[in-house]
Amino acid sequence: MLAGAVLQLCTREYFGFFLPLKMSRAERSFDGKVALITGGTSGIGRGTVLLLSKLGCNVAFGGRNKAELDNVAAKCKETREDAQILPVQGDLEKEEDVKALLDAAIKHFGKLDILVNNAGIVGKGTIENTSLEDFDKVMNINMRAVFYLTSLAVPYLTETKGCVVNVSSVTGLRSFPGVLAYCMSKAAVDQLTRCAALVRFRAGTEANPCKLSQFLERCKETHALGRHGEVDEVMSHAERSFDGKVALITGGTSGIGRGTVLFLSKLGCNVAFGGRNKAELDNVAAKCKETRKDAQILPVQGDLEKEKDVKALLYATIKHFGKLDILVNNAGIAVKGTIKNTSLEDFDKVMNINVRAVFYLTSLAVPYLTETKGCVVNVSSLTGLRSFLERCKETHALGRHGEVDEVVSVIAFLASNDSSFMTGATLPVDGGRHAMCPHEGPRAVKFLSRI
């Protein structure tokens, strides 16, 4: 069985593995093993094909250009005359080609020991100028194909106690300018590696002195906002003024979204919010009016899986209120499943609502937020499943799950002037979960409670 998760740094690239916990010398040998490598005609992929073949692997590898595929196959034969090589032409954007790549490897070699998800493309662009088409292309190749191919390969890798190697990038760990979609895709691959490895594991398988004046000048280059902070940006304002500001909130009919709509409206915001159920939309709007009679509320019905509904939500807000100061991307769904049993349809549904809609709505909102010097708050959280909530008593340092009000107040802070010297920040409102070791339960809670 597959087990564990290891990250190995290697220049600007790094690799996520999930592998057997213990391997004999025979198992460490590549003789007779079968490897499948995507993006095998250039760069790291080509080098991996040549090296594994030289070490005794039977190698299947994919690429789009037949001449380049044949060239790499010929190079393998030059290095090792008896090399068993299978070049497979295809496009990882196409589901049928992803499936055909694996099927060809299994049909030809009869098994699979190693899967190397290497293929990837870079799409230049920021949140302001990355088109939805460019976003989809990068995500489909760099992330969706990795998920789909890995999920299809799991049964074969389980039989051989094989491993998966996901080739990621430093851009998945740190934000880089001008390659938004690429950064997102690599961060997603990193999380896939961690989550898949976790499931397989459970299944068995000194400071330097610096002059203040020099530091403040240097901040113009090193800080995303291009300046140093001011004292009053660190000290809390006596009052957070939301009067006249316009907020747009997705998923505003329940949970954190509903709480945010009610709270920002109470603070003086004009609020537009989205949801799929008209009765629930009307109910939240009525609650806002009960709390503040002159509340300006705009409920908008729609489905964030649909591009036209995402656009309609923003344009309805602009048409009604004339501007936008705050965007809260809150809507999200949870679908249970592991790398073994999550269907591509379920995967797409989750990614379309939780990721694609967030990107698209934010990109559409940027011109309006630029005019008002507004802000975006992205709500990223664990799901409210009953078993998860019960488990929080053991896994969270505070010994309980969070309440809606505890998250809503943080959203209000991020949307207010109090956070004027914050950008690109992640605030863990998680009961101390982020400070604990991944697999520690009650013992960690008891230890932390003594601090």
The catalytic residue positions are 182
Q: Virtual CA dihedral for 22, 25, 29, 34, nearest 10 degrees?
A: -40
Residue written as tokens 């979609």? Answer: 181
Cβ-based neighbours of 53, under 8 Å, separated by 6 or more: 59, 76, 79, 80, 83, 85
In angstroms, the Cα distances linking 76 to 46, 49, 332, 450 are 10, 8, 47, 60
The dihedral of CA 287, 288, 293, 297: what is its sign?
negative
Do the beta carbons of residue 190 and residue 169 sit within 8 Å? no
Residues 6+ apart with CB under 8 A from 301: 274, 275, 276, 277, 278, 281
Distances (CA, A) of 192 to 172, 203, 250, 317, 339: 12, 16, 26, 35, 8
Could you give the CA distance from residue 169 to residue 316 in angstroms, rounded to a whole number?
39
Q: Which two tokens stand for residue 293?
A: 């009679």
In whole angstroms, what is the distance from residue 129 CA to residue 127 CA? 6
